[in-house]
Amino acid sequence: MTTATQPRGRARTADQPVAGRSERLRRATRWWPLPMLSVLFVVPFGALPLPGLLDGPIGSPGNLQLLALCLVFGGLATGYDLLLGRTGLLSFGHALYFAAGTYATNTVMLEAGLPFAVSALLGLLAGVALSALLGAVGLRVGGIGFSMVTLAFAQAASILVQRDPGGVTGGEEGRAAPADRLPASLVGIEHTANLYWVALAYLVVVLAVVQWTVCSPIGRVWEGIKENERRVEVLGLRPYGFKLAAFVLAGTLAALGGIVYLLLTGGATPRTTTSDFTLSLLVMVVLGGSGTRWGPMIGGILYTWADQRLGDLAGSGAVAALPSVVRVPLSQPLFLLGALFVAVIYVLPGGVVRLPARLRAARPSRTAADPEEVLPS
């Protein structure tokens, strides 16, 4: 009787330090975003070169511009995941609300002559109103029907922008933002660091809003809708209102990102209205890890960086010197990006954010490696 119970007691004793270390490690890593945020904040002051990742010092204007774009799209992907990963809504028209913030703000400055702060507020309200209106219509249907309705709205807006009604959109060329209406501290190459900090602030705001809502009661309802919408109805709740709230919040965050994008690029372009833009957001979310806290942000940053850097690689002399059978596919940035995406999906199902967990699962456990800790002496 003693020999039968002794191994179990010894096994529990051996497991307790491991569980204690895991709990301490979890508590220690809970606040890791704070030091990471501090590092990101001081990036403009850095002169550290990162060969292969960036050209020249990390704090150079060109690199800060690229990093700012990465931060904006990291925040945009995080907001989009409120629909895809948190509520289970596949929207093909999310780019429309990003473009609404960009075009509405720019148009108000150009046509009404209002300062940037007022124009940005009106542009944000335009994104809120548009997402509320189109969401109220699109969410009347579910499943693939909802996806097709959002795609139709986005395609209609893209055609409208390219037709340039009244000359307000600039057609295929877009319209540059009026420099005299923008804050002086955000205009010019010498103020690239300020633009970088604006992009960083946008990312922090999106992460905070998404985390707060996901952990709130409405976030738990979103999770229930994603898992089983009929069960939510049985509990006496109306999924429509909760889905509309997620749609409007995601559209609002996208419109805010469009305003920051206007500052970074200095104008509004029709690229932000295409359905391909939304598909890029979908790739970002899946690449990083849909439905996770940090996955969409990581996917947005990695995708934007790869999109820029692989374009440089495709046009480099090293690729031009290769045989034609290799040079032709490698000279296409989209081919390189697609191949990279497929490789990540096969190697890391669930996204890049799952990599640490997979590495921990691959390591042999200490208990299995040291049987003397669990066997009676």
String of DSSP letters for 280-343? HHHHHHHHH-TTSSSHHHHHHHHHHHHHHHHHHHHTSHHHHTS-HHHHHHHT-HHHHHHHHHHH
pLDDT tens-digit map of 247-291: 999 999 999 999 999 999 998 988 888 877 888 888 899 888 888
pTM given for the model: 0.85
The two three-digit tokens of residue 88, written as one number: 């289970």
On average, the pLDDT of the chain sits at: 83
The two three-digit tokens of residue 225, written as one number: 């809708």
Helix (H) or strand (E) holding 360: helix 355-362
Q: Which residues contact 50 (CB under 8 A, 6 or more apart)?
A: 58
Q: Exposure string (b/e) for 281-301, b if CB count within 10 Å is 16 or more? A: bbbbbbbbbbbbbbbbbbbbb
Assess whether pLDDT exceeds 70 at residue 102.
yes
| CA angle (286 as vertex; 284, 290 as ends), nearest 5 | 110
Contacts of 331-335 with CB under 8 Å at 24 or more apart are: 333/307
> How would residue 2 be classed by pLDDT, with cut points 50, 70 and 90?
very low
> How would residue 56 be classed by pLDDT, with cut points 50, 70 and 90?
confident
Quick one: pLDDT at residue 377?
44
**Residues 103 and 165 sit within 8 Å (Cβ to Cβ):** no
> Average pLDDT, stretch 290-318?
82
Higher pLDDT, 282 or 346: 282
**Residues 175 and 169 sit within 8 Å (Cβ to Cβ):** yes
Phi first, then psi: give them for residue 268, nearest 5 degrees: -110, 130
> Average pLDDT, stretch 139-158?
91
Assess whether pLDDT exceeds 90 at residue 315.
no
